[in-house]
Amino acid sequence: MITGSLVALITPFYEDGSVNYSKMEELVEWHIEQESDALVVLGTTGEAPALTETEKDKIVTTAVRASDGRIPVIAGSGSNNTLEAKEQSLRYQEIGADGLLVITPYYNKTNKSGMLKHFYEIADAVSIPVILYNVPGRTGCAISCDAVRELSRHENIAGIKEASGDISYVSKISQYISESFVIYSGNDDMIIPIMSLGGAGVISVLANILPRETHLMVKTFLNGDIKTARELQLRYLDFINALFIETNPIPIKEAMNRAGFSVGGYRLPLYEMETVTRINLMDTMRRVGFAV
């Protein structure tokens, strides 16, 4: 599996709210130049819940074509409807995605057996790697440590994006890291703490605007330079916190627009930032070197 900084790519929009596929192609090219290690499309940061099936398919197609084999593309194919998640996973595999990010079945939730069956149904149907996505703060449910242990043994389940913010949970599931199962930090403020427990990198919001720096943070740690990696984590900590001062991806898109990327707005129910939080974000951007 991939190690390093996997950017949780935003979905750019035009002023009329339609998807800006040309801008997405530009972002893919820029991330390749900036040494991002993989692209993750249709995740939380990509506003997947607000996209149509047709738009999702075209986003995956655009990312795959623009990357042209130069950088892996992982597509978020999860749903709280297991059949829908399986069908999406098969479509994205057919389009050419290199892997899948599959979230827990939110809202209707399930018990441990249902959680296992949900992921098995998807992993059994595809032949590309599946990354579990644990983010209970958004979904209202979590993958238990016992379930992670069992799922880690599946030949197509290659890792977990861990975004609970619970370092004790990370410690427990780190027991199941192997050559075929890895952990990615799902929180930019915990990249180095999770890597210290064996993590392989991060699926990152920060990397949308500081891709080279996020890549460097992970790679210096993997190369044994813990001091530099720690310094980078702490250098950008205030900025990372500001990127989550409102619901992701509102602040990261605001930051990118202020930095000149012109990625457009949001789809409801997401909306533009409040004045107070925008001022806070701009202040932190200046402190890390952005001219805004």
Catalytic residues: 133, 161
Peptide bond into 136 cis (omega under 30): no
Q: How far is CA 148 from CA 151, 152, 199, 215, 243, in A?
A: 5, 6, 15, 27, 29
- Chain CA centroid to CA 282, Å: 23
Q: How far apart are CA 159 and CA 147, in angstroms?
A: 13
Contact 208, 225 (CB under 8 A): no
| Nearest Cα residue to 142 out of 114, 167, 164 | 164
The secondary element (H helix, E strand) that includes residue 158 is strand 157-162
Q: How far apart are CA 88 and CA 231, in angstroms?
A: 40
- Residues β-bridged to residue 133: 103, 161
| Nearest Cα residue to 232 out of 212, 252, 214 | 214
Instruction: For residue 53, count CB atoms less than 10 angstroms from its CB and return exposed for 0-12, middle for 13-18, buried for 19 or more.
Output: exposed
- 94 Cβ contact partners less than 8 Å away, ≥ 6 residues apart: none
Q: How far apart are CA 186 and CA 65, in angstroms?
A: 26
Q: How far is CA 218 from CA 21, 185, 197, 292, in A?
A: 29, 11, 13, 27
Residue with tokens 């409807």: 81
